[in-house]
Amino acid sequence: MKDKFFNYIQELQDTITSKLEEIDGKGTFKEDLWKRPEGGGGRTRVIENGKVFEKGGVNISGVHGKLPDSMQKYFGVEDADFFACGLSLVLHPKNPMVPTVHANWRYFEMYDKEGNIVDQWFGGGQDLTPYYLFDEDAKHFHQVCKTACDKYNPEFYSKYKARCDEYFYNTHRNEGRGLGGLFFDYCKASDEMTMQNWYNFVIEVGDSFLEAYVPIVEKRKNLSYTKEQRDWQEIRRGRYVEFNLVHDKGTLFGLKTNGRIESILMSLPPHVQWVYNHHPEKGSKEERLIKVLQNPVDWV
């Protein structure tokens, strides 16, 4: 399973980066191959200062070795080894009318002293973070998520959408990071779903990513915008940074397992503002976004 999924994310990385370069028309992904001293490594691809994408990363990694003490305590195990692989991407467009997007699909195995698998699961999801709200974009993104889920279980979409709304929430700001999407974790074998079923489901979601995001980018990338709208984008990016550094489990896992810092923090945008006690004008498009972020919406 781990070899099959690792092969899949390598191919998916190629597919996604090729399509994004085509959309951008100027920027290209720089590739960085790295090794982790304790075992494994990854292939980081970053695009910067493109025509469409100001900064973005589409990274894959496969790491293994002894589970660090902090993570052994977290999982309640002793002397465990692990293998983890996944693809993680974040795209920060230049135009504030184009939303930021994040996605991640991952697989984890844990072993006993004899090397037997004692636990294994899939996780992942994708979510949209706009700066200006176009309802049809939100509906499109969520509809693609729902279509992928419905092929496996009619309850998956509502369940994993709710988890996404709950997870990507800045509790210290009382607002969502964005408009959500899907978030699933610890997807293990059960009477209803074998590990092969979970594999099929996760790659269904992974394969749907470009369909969910690309039409939105194409529709919005050439819209005009003002300096004030760009300032608003940078203020909202600050909230994105806050979530990733304060709440995000993937960031914390990477830091605690001696992950590669450049890859872990590639999700941070290049230009951000923190304006003291900032509030948008009443009745403005900016205020409308804030109100929507405070209460999750059923887009489909």
d(CA 216, CA 233): 17
- Report residue 203 CA to chain centroid gap: 15
Cβ proximity of 253 and 71 under 8 Å: yes
Question: Cβ neighbours of residue 190 under 8 Å, at least 6 residues apart?
Answer: none
Strand partners of residue 111? 81, 117
User: Which of 102, 140, 142, 278 is the catalytic position?
Assistant: 102
Q: Which CA distances in Å does 268 have to 38, 55, 100, 274?
A: 26, 9, 11, 14
Among candidate residues 136, 103, 127, the one with its CA nearest the CA of residue 299: 136
Name the region of 115 (left: φ>0; alpha: ψ -120 to 50; beta: rest): left
Long-range contacts of 171-177 (CB under 8 A, 24+ apart): 171/247, 172/242, 172/246, 173/239, 173/242, 174/294, 175/239, 175/290, 175/293, 175/294, 176/293, 176/294, 176/296, 177/127, 177/129, 177/239, 177/240, 177/243, 177/293
Task: For residue 102, indicate whether it is catalytic.
Answer: yes
Give the torsion sign (CA, 257, 254, 193, 197): negative
Say which residue the tokens 């990385």 belong to: 13
Q: How far apart are CA 247 and CA 50, in angstroms?
A: 29
Residues with a catalytic annotation lie at: 102
